Structure 1
Amino acid sequence: MTERAKPPREPISAREPVVFIVEDDESMRRALTNLFQSVGLEAEVFSSAADMLQSKLPDVASCLVLDIRLPGLSGLDFQAELARTNIHIPIIFMTGHGDIPMSVRAMKGGAVDFLTKPFRDQDMLDAVTVAIERDRKRRESDRIVASLQVHFQTLTPREREILALVSSGLMNKQIAAELGLAEITVKIHRGHIMKKMDAKSLADLLRKAETLGVRRAKS
């Protein structure tokens, strides 16, 4: 069964980060819960990877404190499963029986840290701080890209074509020649593109095109 560090209250604040703990040892779950609550962090605890997979997770900045050795799906296999299902949550591994190959596999899989029990409380808190900040930045980046994609979808095929050529460094005259258009027509299209992409300047437009991965089609 899923254990919650605090009595259930819905919804969890959209601004409040959450630390998920997957650990089969009850005393360790309790100790970690008390540690995180002592610094004002929300915590949700699970006794197995399967329990967490079956739960609806809040859409907030978060990280996962994960034991390597678990009943059923191991911590390392759970890390791989999350990657396969495109769930991007920073992971801090902990183990009482660590070895170098295990830690190398964890770090290659993108883990933030690999802590050997018994670890210092401050080491865990430092790792969680780094992990939550990493997730917050990823979420902000995803939000920006999603917003740009909404704007990009409003462009016509011709405008997208011109944006790709602009992003490759071509001037209006060159774009007109390449597409067989009048230069004034290209200027009009560029004006529409600037407005639809909510670009404040050419440099701003180029940054947005780069973020979206807009590229000139190869001949």
Structure 2
Amino acid sequence: MPGLVHIVDDDPSFLTAMERHLKHAGYDVAVYASAQALLDRLPGDSVPSCILLDVQIPDLDGPALQTRLRELGSTLPIIFLSGYRNIPLTVKTIKAGAEDFLTKPVSSEDLLRAIAGALAHHQSSQDLQNMLSMARARLSKLTPRERQVFDLIVRGRINKQIAHALGTTERTIKAHRHGVMEKLQVRSLAELVSLAERIGLLGGASDSQATF
């Protein structure tokens, strides 16, 4: 899978060697000699991307940069690189959302496997967010009455109960129900409930936990 790898390391020879290696492996590469250099050109997430981040870089170290990126809303997976094994630091960065933690010197096989996993993770996250955005956009097209009907349907109410609650007829509710299904592009009650859960309307899976 093609993708973009951002490398942050203050060792020029390491940056050069890593850039050459990853380009040879088919990736686009951007290199940064400091955390600030990355922040000055904050990477977007329009293409599958990840960050290879050295733990010990001057000024703003790796974990501090990880925190700053999350504060800025970055969703790019981070693979940490360190010259020594540090279990507490590894646990800390992974808990904070790091994709992986590799110890230098890292084998080409382990590096490429970690990058491929990070890029796949980023792509799936973007796909999920796109699906959620489309679902919300469709939901916004419902009329106020259709939205009322939708909210009651996904909470298990049948047409008769919905009609009673809204002071109308079952025939009218059936028409609204058809409009809801059509606008949300779902074919069954199960799909409708699943959509409501994914966008957080039933107190089930949150955006970060939702699955498709």
Count of aligned residue pairs for this structure pair:
202
Q: Deviations over 1:184-206 (max 9, x none)?
A: 12111111111211223333222
Preserved CA contact (<8 Å) 2:3 2:28: yes
Q: CA RMSD in A?
A: 1.7
Residue 65 of structure 2 corresponds to residue 78 of structure 1:
yes
**Distance in 1, Cα, partners of 2:35 & 2:164:** 59
Q: Distance in 1 between matches of 2:78 and 2:195?
A: 30
Q: Is the 8 A contact 1:98 1:116 kept in 2?
A: yes
2:50 corresponds in structure 1 to 63
Counterpart of 2:123 in 1: which secondary structure?
Answer: helix
**Unmatched segments (≥5 aa) in structure 1:** 1-14
> Could you say which residue in structure 1 is the equivalent of 2:202?
215
1:73 to partner: Cα distance: 1.1
Which amino acid in 2 is paired with 1:30? T
Residue matched to 1:146 = 133
Distance 1:82 1:205 in 2: 35
Q: 1:65 is paired with a residue of what secondary structure?
A: strand
Given that residues 2 and 26 in structure 2 are in contact (C-alpha distance below 8 angstroms), is that contact kept between their aligned partners in structure 1? no
The residue that corresponds to 2:114 in the other structure is: 127
Q: In structure 2, how many angstroms separate the alpha carbons of the residues matched to 1:127 and 1:16? A: 14
Per-residue CA deviation, residues 125-167 of structure 1 (Å, 9 max, x unaligned), is 1100100000000000011111111111111222222112111
Alignment pair present for 1:33 and 2:19: yes
Written as runs of structure 1 = structure 2, the 5 A alignment for 1:177-216 is 177-215=164-202
In 2, Cα distance between equivalents of 1:175 and 1:183: 8
Could you tell me how far 1:16 is from its partner in structure 2? 4.2
Mapped to 1, the partners of 2:103 and 2:32 lie a distance apart of 20
Tell me, in whole angstroms, the C-alpha distance in 2 between the residues paired with 1:199 and 1:22: 44
Matched, 1:112 2:91: no
Match of 1:45 among 16, 28, 31: 31
Query: 1:96 aligns to what?
Result: 83
Deviates more, 1:151-160 or 1:125-134: 151-160
> For residues 73 and 158 of structure 1, what CA distance do their matches in structure 2 show?
53
Cα deviation for residue 64 of structure 1 reads 0.6
How far the C-alpha of 1:106 sits from its partner, in A, is 0.8
The 10-residue stretch of structure 1 (48-57 or 110-119) with the greater mean CA deviation from structure 2: 48-57
Residue 114 of structure 1 aligns to a residue whose secondary structure is strand
Q: CA deviation at 1:170?
A: 1.4
Counterpart Cα distance in 1 of 2:102 and 2:202: 43
Q: Which amino acid aligns with 1:135?
A: H
Decide which moves more: 89-98 or 205-214.
205-214
